[in-house]
Amino acid sequence: MASRTLPPPHLRLDLCSPRLPPLRSPGCRRRRRRGRVPSALSSPSPSPSSASRSQSVSTAPLERGVGRGPATSREQPRGGGDPALAAELARLSALRARLRGARSLADKLRALDAETRVVEFFGEGSNGGVLGALEPREVFLLKCLVAAGQEHVLGAELDWDGRGHEHLHHHYNGGSDGRSALRQALSSLAGLVSKWSSEGVVEGEAESGESELLRRLLKFLGDIDVFYDCIGGIIGYQIMALELLSASKDHKHRPSKHKSIDFHVPSGLNLLEDTEYASQAALWGIEGLPELGEIYPIGGAGDRLGLVDSDTGESLPAALLPYCGRSLLEGLIRDLQAREFLHFKIFGKQCITAVAIMTSSVKDNHEHITAICERLEWFGRGRENFRLFEQPLVPVVNAKDGKWLTSGALFPVGKPGGHGAIWKLACDRGIFQWLYQNGRKGATVRQVSNVVAATDLTLMALAGIGLRHDKKLGFASCERRPGATEGVNVLIEKENQDGQWAYGITCIEYTEFEKYGIPEPTVTNGSLQANYPANTNILYVDLQAAEEVGSRKNASCLPGMVLNLKKAVSYLDHLGFECSAAGGRLECTMQNIADNFMNTYNYRCSKGIESELDTFIVYNERKKVTSSAKRKLKSEDKSLHQTPEGSLLDIMRNAYDLLSSCNVKVPKVKDNCEYLRSGPPFLIFLHPALGPFWDITRQKFVGGSVSQGSELQIEVAEFLWQDVELDGSLIVLADNIMGSTNKNNTGEQIMHYGARCGRCKLQSVKIVNKGINWSSANNVYWKHDVERSESVKIILHGNAEFEAKDVVLKGNHIFEVPSGHRMRIVQDGPEFVAKLDPISKEMMDSGTWYWKYAVDGAHVKLEMVEL
C-alpha cells in the first residue's frame, strides 16, 4: 500500500448489514475474539440467498488427473450438467483470460469495470465513495473480489459507489428505529468522505476498528492475488474452488490423459531388515550434513489441540505445545543439534545447518515462532542461520455454494492453504537462493507435530540415500494404521497416449481414497510392504529440483491441490460466537511435488524399477517414523491415536526397545488401554545426542535395570551408564549438554560442539527412592510435569563432571556441581561421601575423559579416553 492510509473513524463508511444482528444460534458458543477491533455496526455473513447481488452457485462433476494438479488457463472450465455453474465458470475463465492479457493495471481495471457484477455493486465509473480514497492496486483487489462473486464480504451498505447518504436513505426507507439510527450514522459518515485528507486521516482523528479491518482485508486479498498468480490470482482461486467443489459432490472424473494408470506398493530400503546398508546410508547422511538444510512447515493452526495461553486465554499454534519439558519447536532443533554433534564427534568439524521455517499468521503463529527463537537466542545457532517466511491465509468457501465464509463485514475466514505452498513460497521469498549461499544441496523436511521422526537411523538414512544417489525426492514410510486419517505412498505406473510409460513414487491423500480405490490395510504376515504404506510427510528433497517446480508459472507449482470438505470449519462469527460450517479451502500438499518427478520409458518396466527412479522410499517400523501430537485427548476417547498421550507411549516403547538391547531390564509397555487406566509404566527421556543412532547409544548404556514406576532423564551427551539399578527417579541435567557457547563478532551466543561439555559416569550404582507420586491428580506425563516424592538429581554447571561408582544412593539427594569441578561419590561404610575437586586448566576444554568416535565400516565405534 502507498503512503495513503484509510479514513478516520467518522469517515469510515459503514461496513454492515441492514439487518439487526441475529440472536445467538443454537450451534454457536461464546468465545472471546482476539486480534480484531469489533465494529459496532458489523454484520453477520449473509446466507447465499440474502444478498441481491449474490449468485447462487450449484456444482457439477470435475475430474482431476492423477497428477492432482489444478486446471491451467488452457483448460476449459467444467460445470458438469449444471448450466448455472457452467455459465459462472465460463464467465470467470473469460475474465481471467482478459486479465492475463491486459498490459497494465489500468487495462485490468477496465476489464473488471466491464463486468456486470462490478457495475451493479460499485456503480458506473466506480471512482467515487470509498474507492476514490484508495490506490489503484487496492481498487483492483476489491473489484476482483466482487467479480469473483464475493461482494458479501464488503458489506452491502458501504458508500462504495459514491452515491452517499441519498442511496443509503433510499435503501433504508421505512426501516425500524434501529435502522433509522443506523441510517443517520451512515449518512453522517458518508457526508464526511470529502474531508478525508490526502493522507487518509482527518486532522485530530485516529484510525479505528473498521479502518484496520479494511486494511487487513486489502492485505489478505493482495496476498492471495500474488501467491495464486500462477492460476490467475483471486479469480483463479475461485475458479479452482468451484471446480473442486463440483467434483466433490458429483464424484465424476475428467477424461484421463493416459491410456492406463495403475498403483503398486512401492519397494525400498527396509531399515529393519537390511541393517548394514541402513547403517551405511545413515553415515552418508551424517557425512553430508554440511550439504543439507532443514525445512519445517509449521504454519498450521493446530485447532484440534485446543492449545491456549493459561494466563491470557489466547489460542496458540501447535508449535508451542509444551511437550516433554519443551515446546515442539524446541524439540525439532534439539534433534537437529544431536545430528550436528555426531558430525562433530566423527569428523571433528563444526556444522551449523541452515533452517528454513514456513510460518503463518493464524493464531499469531509467525510472531510466536519469532519470539521463541529470540528468547532462546536462536538456539545458539545465530540469527543468520534461520529464515522464517510467512504463508498467506486463504479464504474458506462454503461447501454449499462456494461463497467465502466471513466473521463479519470485511472479515473473511482465512486458514493456511496447506504445506504444499512451501515450494512456491520458498521461491517467491528467496529461500532456495539463501540455502544455496549456505552451501546446501538437499534438505530434510519434517512436521513439528511428529515427535519421533528423528528416532535412530530413519531421517539420516533417507537423506544419505538422497544425497549419495542424486535423488530428487525421498519418502520415509511405515505400515499404515487402519482407520488413520493419513495418506499412502504408491508407485504409480501410467501409460501415456504416445505409448510412453511413466513411473514414480508419490502420495495419495486419504481424502481421495474412495476416488482411487485405495483399500483399508489388512492383517498381514508382518511385512511392512504388504499394503500401501503410510505417508508420513518426512521427506528428502533436492533443492534444485524443488526450486524448478516452485518457480513455474502454472498450476504445477502448487502440487496436490485439493478441497478438503470432510471436516467442519470452526470460526468466530461477528458476535464472537464460535460456529462451524461445512466448508474448506484450497490446500496443496508438499509431498505431491513428487508428481513432477516421474521417469519415462519407451517400454513397460518390470518389477524393481524403483531403484532407477528419481523418487525413492525407505521403511522403518511405525513408532520410529511417525507418532504425532495433533489433537487433544477427550474424556470419551478410546483411542490415543495422534494425541500427546499416544505419542508419549511410542517414545516409551522406543526407550524400552533401546535399553532392552543394551541388556538393561525395563518393564514392557502394554497397550494404550492400560495407559487410560493407570498411566505409563515408567518415564524415560534420553537426550538424542546420546546417539542419535541407537548403535551409539548402546555403547553408553550397558546392563542394569529400570524398575516399574521409575523415572529416568538424561540431559548430557558425554555419559556412561554401567550396571545401574534404578528404582525411583534419576535426573541428570547439564548446562553444556553438547558443548558451550561463545559470543561471535555480532555479540550472538554461538554453540561450539564438544567444548567444555558436562560429563557423567555411573558405574555399579544402585538408586532407590520414592520417585514420582503416581497417584497425584496433577501429573501430566506427556508434558513431563509430575509430582515427585523423592529423587536423585545431578546438576552439572558449565564443564562440571560427576562420577559415582560402587555406591548405593537411597532417598532424596541433589548433587549440584559447579563449573570447573569434578564430584566423585564413593561408598564409606553404610553411607557415602562426596569429594569435590577442581579440574586442571589443561583439561578445562576436553574434560578428564571423553568418548572418541571412529567409523568402522558402516558403524561408529566408541572408545572412552581418560586423561
Query: For 317-340, how does the pLDDT look when each residue is reduced to its tens digit (9 = 90+)?
Result: 899 999 999 999 999 999 999 999
Judged against a pLDDT cut of 90, whether residue 739 lies above it is answered with: yes
Judged against a pLDDT cut of 60, whether residue 179 lies above it is answered with: no
Domain ranges of the chain: 70-250, 258-290+392-442+452-624, 644-866
Judged against a pLDDT cut of 90, whether residue 107 lies above it is answered with: yes
- Of the candidates 608, 576, 322, the one whose C-alpha atom is nearest the C-alpha of residue 448 is 322
- Of the candidates 674, 808, 657, the one whose C-alpha atom is nearest the C-alpha of residue 728 is 808
CATH number of the domain at 258-290+392-442+452-624, out of 3.40.50.2000, 3.90.550.10, 3.65.10.10, 1.20.1250.20? 3.90.550.10
- Rounded Cα–Cα distance for residues 370 and 337 (Å): 19
Judged against a pLDDT cut of 60, whether residue 257 lies above it is answered with: yes
- Give pLDDT, residue 33: 42
How many residues are present in the chain? 867
pLDDT higher for 498 or 130?
498
- Give pLDDT, residue 60: 27
Tally of CB atoms within 10 A around 204: 6
Judged against a pLDDT cut of 50, whether residue 49 lies above it is answered with: no
Ranges 5-19, 67-81, 162-176, 800-814, most confident: 800-814
Which uninterrupted H or E stretch holds 685? strand 683-686
- Give pLDDT, residue 127: 64
- Contact partners, residue 515, CB within 8 Å, separation at least 6: 251, 253
**Do 417 and 391 meet the contact criterion of CB atoms below 8 Å apart?**
yes
Judged against a pLDDT cut of 60, whether residue 171 lies above it is answered with: no
Q: What are phi and psi for residue 151, nearest 5 degrees? A: -65, -20
Identity of the residue numbered 38: P
pLDDT, tens digit (0-9, with 9 covering 90-100), for 113-163: 999 999 988 887 656 667 888 899 999 999 999 999 999 998 754 555 555
Cell of 425: 513460497
Which residues pair with residue 535 across a beta bridge? 477
Work out whether strand 615-619 and strand 269-270 pair parallel, antiparallel, or are unpaired: parallel
Cell of 618: 525407505
**CA atoms lying within 13 Å on the CB side of residue 352:** 14
Which residues pair with residue 720 across a beta bridge? 761
Which residues pair with residue 854 across a beta bridge? 861
Which residues pair with residue 412 across a beta bridge? 406
Least confident segment among 83-87, 207-211, 628-632, 784-788: 207-211
Which uninterrupted H or E stretch holds 855? strand 849-856
- Give pLDDT, residue 681: 96
Scan for cell 487410560, then name that residue: 676
The pLDDT-based confidence of 396 (bands split at 50, 70, 90) is very high
- Of the candidates 626, 695, 702, the one whose C-alpha atom is nearest the C-alpha of residue 457 is 695
Q: Averaged over 816-842, what is the pLDDT? A: 95
Cis peptide before 521 (omega within 30 of 0): no
Q: What are phi and psi for residue 157, nearest 5 degrees? A: -105, 5
**Do 274 and 618 meet the contact criterion of CB atoms below 8 Å apart?**
no
First to last CA, the chain: 65
Which residues pair with residue 579 across a beta bridge? 571
Cell of 767: 538408586
**Do 55 and 47 meet the contact criterion of CB atoms below 8 Å apart?**
no
Q: What are phi and psi for residue 110, nearest 5 degrees? A: -65, -40
- Contact partners, residue 603, CB within 8 Å, separation at least 6: 501
The pLDDT-based confidence of 522 (bands split at 50, 70, 90) is low
The pLDDT-based confidence of 341 (bands split at 50, 70, 90) is very high
Cell of 659: 535399553
Work out whether strand 355-360 and strand 711-715 pair parallel, antiparallel, or are unpaired: unpaired
Say how far residue 675 (Cα) sits from the centre of its chain: 28
Least confident segment among 79-93, 687-701, 828-842: 79-93
- Give pLDDT, residue 255: 53
User: Crossing angle, helix 177-191 and helix 164-172, to 10 degrees?
Assistant: 170
Which uninterrupted H or E stretch holds 460? helix 458-468
Mean pLDDT of the chain: 84
Which residues pair with residue 503 across a beta bridge? 493, 599
Tally of CB atoms within 10 A around 393: 22
- Give pLDDT, residue 706: 98
Q: Averaged over 229-249, what is the pLDDT? A: 91
> Which pTM value belongs to this model?
0.85
- Rounded Cα–Cα distance for residues 284 and 280 (Å): 6
- Of the candidates 767, 660, 764, the one whose C-alpha atom is nearest the C-alpha of residue 711 is 767
Q: Averaged over 401-414, what is the pLDDT? A: 89
- Rounded Cα–Cα distance for residues 867 and 864 (Å): 10
Identity of the residue numbered 422: I
- Contact partners, residue 831, CB within 8 Å, separation at least 6: none
CB burial of 314-331 (b: ≥16 within 10 Å; e: otherwise) equals ebbbbbbbbbbeebbbbb
Scan for cell 553430508, then name that residue: 288
Which uninterrupted H or E stretch holds 853? strand 849-856
- Contact partners, residue 11, CB within 8 Å, separation at least 6: 189, 192, 193, 195, 196, 202, 205
Distances from the Cα of 589 to the Cαs of 317, 564, 592, 802, in angstroms?
Answer: 20, 12, 6, 49
pLDDT higher for 114 or 3?
114
DSSP string of 269-289, one letter each residue: EETTT-HHHHHHHHHHHHHTG
- Rounded Cα–Cα distance for residues 448 and 652 (Å): 19
pLDDT higher for 14 or 136?
136
Which uninterrupted H or E stretch holds 659? helix 644-660
Q: Averaged over 525-547, what is the pLDDT? A: 85
- Rounded Cα–Cα distance for residues 855 and 283 (Å): 9
- Give pLDDT, residue 514: 82
pLDDT, tens digit (0-9, with 9 covering 90-100), for 61-75: 223 333 333 333 334
Least confident segment among 410-424, 698-712, 806-820: 410-424
Cell of 105: 493495471
